[in-house]
Amino acid sequence: MPNLRHYQLMLFFAVAVSLTACHSRKLTVRNTNNPGINMPVKRGPYVMVKPERSIADKYSAMMGLKRDDIQNGRLYNFIDEWMGVPYRFGGMDKDGVDCSGLVFLLQLQVYDMPVPRTCAMQVNNIKRKYEEELKEGDLVFFDFDGKQFSHVGVYLQNGYIVHASTRRGVVIVKLHDRGIYQYFSRGGSVLDPASVMVPENQQTNY
């Protein structure tokens, strides 16, 4: 007849299996370039959803557009949720987010498109475009502090971008604003990361 210790062991394994099963139902994304990142996210599949009228009114006025020009409800809802969140190096939540973290979350939650976590890797994940070819959702890179591709944002419409500013947090600004355009370096559309080769010696700065 099994003793008390045997029953205790059986109970322990039953609980462990139960917890593992519950955990497996939570959708998480692990970034293999940064093994420490393992966080729950809201994601796709990507479907264009029209915005609420209040959101369309708000962002069309902000960017000098017609209300009907604001079509991607997922994008502008995401921006509205994150607007004003302060900058925090390495941050990935509403307590603080850095530029590449914002791009990482936006691309995943809005477009169901995984991208690398850092600026230096994200820049290898785009199809380059001329500035006049940029479309909503494309990435734009900047060379701040004399460092190549040290900052990233997302192009919107009518010459506006959204990015996590070190001084102002998540904000929408004109790409041609004096304080940022002089550092503009590159832009392009996001590629499927499975098709992108990243050099082994690639930098990992944010």
Residue 27 Cα to chain centre, angstroms: 16
Select which of 6, 22, 23, 151 is catalytic. Answer: 151
d(CA 100, CA 90): 9
Select which of 6, 22, 99, 119 is catalytic. Answer: 99
Residue located via tokens 């929408």: 172
| CB neighbour list of residue 206: distance below 8 Å, 6 or more residues apart | 89, 90, 98, 99, 100, 101, 118, 119, 150
Q: At what angle do helices 73-82 and 99-111 cross, to 10 degrees?
A: 150
Residue-by-residue DSSP string for 114-160: ---SSHHHHGGGEEE--GGG--TT-EEEE-GGG-TT-EEEEE-STTE
Question: Which CA distances in Å does 169 have to 1, 83, 142, 183, 200?
Answer: 65, 8, 16, 18, 32
DSSP state of 167: T
Annotated active-site residue 99? The verdict is yes
Annotated active-site residue 119? The verdict is no
Annotated active-site residue 176? The verdict is no
Q: Which residues are catalytic?
A: 99, 151, 163
